[in-house]
Structure 1
């Protein structure tokens, strides 16, 4: 009754075809290609007692980081629990670890996955899924250290080894170890050019070091597979747009929004996050994006699952503020205020203040916005997401200070930004002079 996956992990099924589908879906998930769900569905229809398959299906839903798919994840976990097969230790552990996430408590699930991956360090699916949760929960050190814990149990040539390198590369970047991150990311891409996460890790290094020309070349000339049929396509286009913004090429960034980032009918919350983040950055630079905010705000209105993800909720509020939609902002703020103080969410009190700051900026109350954001800047890791994504909070504070006429705060933040990214110091000075000339 027991089969084994390509890494030697035992699976409670007697059907080799189920294992083949599991492996195919695994590779699609590792490379973020579409669509592992479509691969697993027929396998589970033929083998409804395939516990590992149901657990993978639940994890695929959870990896969307979208509150709307939690019922589907719960249904998959229920199917795993109802199997006539007795779960193997790894399957039993993973089922217990994923259940809180499907019930809305990603933080508790993440802590259970900590132990699961100590006991099962070759569980590649759980490693990648937990890596995504670490990102959303703002556990920057664990993006690096979780993969480091597992590496001694892997060897070059193991199925999926390159994907560990790509994840480790991203974790190193988020911990400011840029040289190691880039080396591992490039090695991972050399092992599998379809490894969109490793491509993304190297793009992050270029972004954080201000190596704009190299970053654009990396995403447009040196790599290409991420651009089509890939769940990370919107996000990597977002990175490319940020690089154009670093070149003060707002027109190129806006063209990318219209071509590759603006939401479509099938966009998930993580795509809407990127759309909000890019439009807001363009707005901070004085670009007229008013005609694009309403469509995005309408999608967030349909998509928002308030009280589940600070990261998502704040980006929804950006869209409502950008659209000037007071009614939606009020409903969102009311929904956030209704979240119990005991809710299993990180950074929830600060999230309320962040949303107040967003609303203040949208209303033109720039001094209030800057005052609300200043004490949040040292703790933005709790917001979740990457350093590049969280920089939106800093940029908003800096622009609010400038618009409020708070020269001391604006210069202090500009100095901080220049010290963090020395390569950008000249660009910031040039941008400042352009703003002064326009004024």
Structure 2
């Protein structure tokens, strides 16, 4: 007897208790609550041949966007392949799609997952995992349109429909469709106020609208479910800090950093990214954040970084070394990035990432004119750098400040005008 999940997908187990645990773990993953890995483990103990369980475990590892966990992902995929159960069509397809990612090729995996979702549009696990990959790979239209491809196969009565709406909301925001993004995110949160991704989508709307007051109100009063017990908490704290920064409340920014973003023993790459991005923005504004903050962040990055896998991660790891003033750390990180063979590079834009690294090093050395000139041609080729619009804006902010410090008034004014022109007119706000 083959069982089916709540969306009708076949799973290779005959134990209803295993299915119930699987659904619980998947829901934790969908809502980004802690800890789906621990929740799933009993199902694999009850049925060691549970293919979908091993695939889910692999995906949970891969969703960390961290090279350190790739070995665990490979182990889970090997267990799925070795199962004595007969795999369902979805399981065969998903196993093939996840293998390249576990070997370090997220781009190829993302392509295979795209085809998998055309055949299995109700595979909520694959949909969310691919959505995350689209973000990391810098594919904003796919953040919107990949969810759009699946929407016709979903109805409001389906379990998990709210999560689909939350993902669509973020994709709409990344394509500058703010009114539709707001509508989709609010519909998702009506279904589940603890949907951290939908909270995150609304935080992005407020950030891109340039509305500090609304952004602060939303994250401190409109919804506080995100503040504890979920893997996106640090990132949403980062969004709150950005709004305080926009409002000019530096004390509040540093308080958020020290309380919720500063590295600790459990910090992973997703958390460290936000630390680098926030401290760098403060430095761009001329704020002395203190040597201790930079050194602690740089030290954690040196423990965690695995150069050559993610352009986005590596650039932020380098920023921490520059901020700390560690010449040894800067040289080690920059050299490791430059040493990645072209055939092994994680993406075709790796050379641009190395150019970005060179520009950031120039900024750290006080060669502001060089930094601005190196960054300028990259600013509209930065999608492959990955991340959201809000995260990629770090490159623009750095180029603008480098131009100002270099005395290049023409470039500074041009980039400042560009930033101002991106903000919607007052009547365009949702």
Could you say which TM-score interval applies, normalised by the shorter chain? Answer: over 0.9
* Matching residue of 1:216: 216
Distance 1:58 1:284 in 2: 39
> How many pairs align?
424
Distance 1:264 1:18 in 2: 34
* Matching residue of 1:131: 131
- Classify 1:248/1:423 alpha carbon distance in 2 versus 1 (closer, same or farther; 3 Å): farther
Contact 1:210–1:423 (Cα < 8 Å) also in 2: no
Q: Any idea what the Cα deviations from partners look like across 1:400-422, whole Å, max 9, x if unmatched?
A: 01111111111111111111125
Which region of structure 1 is more displaced relative to structure 2, 226-235 or 282-291? 282-291
Contact 1:357–1:369 (Cα < 8 Å) also in 2: yes
5+ residue gaps in structure 2? none
Alignment of 1:16-35 (within 5 A): 16-35=16-35
Residue 134 of structure 1 and its aligned partner are, at CA, apart by 0.2
* Matching residue of 1:414: 416
Q: Any idea what the Cα deviations from partners look like across 1:22-44, whole Å, max 9, x if unmatched?
A: 10001100110000000111210
Runs of at least 4 residues off by over 2 Å? none
5+ residue gaps in structure 1? 425-439
1:313 maps onto 2:317 in alignment:
no
Contact 1:209–1:423 (Cα < 8 Å) also in 2: no
Contact 1:3–1:16 (Cα < 8 Å) also in 2: yes
Contact 1:55–1:77 (Cα < 8 Å) also in 2: yes
Residue 291 of structure 1 and its aligned partner are, at CA, apart by 2.3
Contact 1:310–1:383 (Cα < 8 Å) also in 2: yes
Q: Secondary structure at the match of 2:379?
A: helix
Residue 294 of structure 1 and its aligned partner are, at CA, apart by 0.4
* Matching residue of 1:206: 206
Distance 2:252 2:58 in 1: 38
Distance 1:384 1:281 in 2: 18
Contact 1:25–1:37 (Cα < 8 Å) also in 2: yes
* Matching residue of 1:182: 182
Q: Secondary structure at the match of 1:305?
A: coil
Alignment of 1:27-426 (within 5 A): 27-289=27-289, 290-343=291-344, 344-421=346-423
Residue 423 of structure 1 and its aligned partner are, at CA, apart by 6.6
Q: Give TM-score scaled by structure 1 length.
A: 0.95
Residue 324 of structure 1 and its aligned partner are, at CA, apart by 0.9
Q: Secondary structure at the match of 2:85?
A: coil
Distance 1:18 1:130 in 2: 25
Distance 1:12 1:177 in 2: 40
Contact 1:32–1:232 (Cα < 8 Å) also in 2: yes
Distance 2:33 2:157 in 1: 22
Residue 331 of structure 1 and its aligned partner are, at CA, apart by 1.1
Q: Any idea what the Cα deviations from partners look like across 1:161-188, whole Å, max 9, x if unmatched?
A: 0000000000000001110001100110
Residue 67 of structure 1 and its aligned partner are, at CA, apart by 0.3
Q: Give TM-score scaled by structure 2 length.
A: 0.97
Q: Secondary structure at the match of 2:104?
A: coil
Distance 2:79 2:384 in 1: 34
Q: Secondary structure at the match of 1:159?
A: coil
Q: Secondary structure at the match of 2:381?
A: helix
Distance 2:217 2:186 in 1: 14
Residue 389 of structure 1 and its aligned partner are, at CA, apart by 0.3
Q: Any idea what the Cα deviations from partners look like across 1:256-290, whole Å, max 9, x if unmatched?
A: 00001111111110100000000000111111113
Distance 1:163 1:156 in 2: 11
Q: Secondary structure at the match of 2:34?
A: coil
Distance 1:260 1:332 in 2: 26
Give the superposed CA RMSD.
1.0
Q: Secondary structure at the match of 1:378?
A: coil
- Classify 1:401/1:95 alpha carbon distance in 2 versus 1 (closer, same or farther; 3 Å): same
Which region of structure 1 is more displaced relative to structure 2, 322-331 or 272-281? 322-331
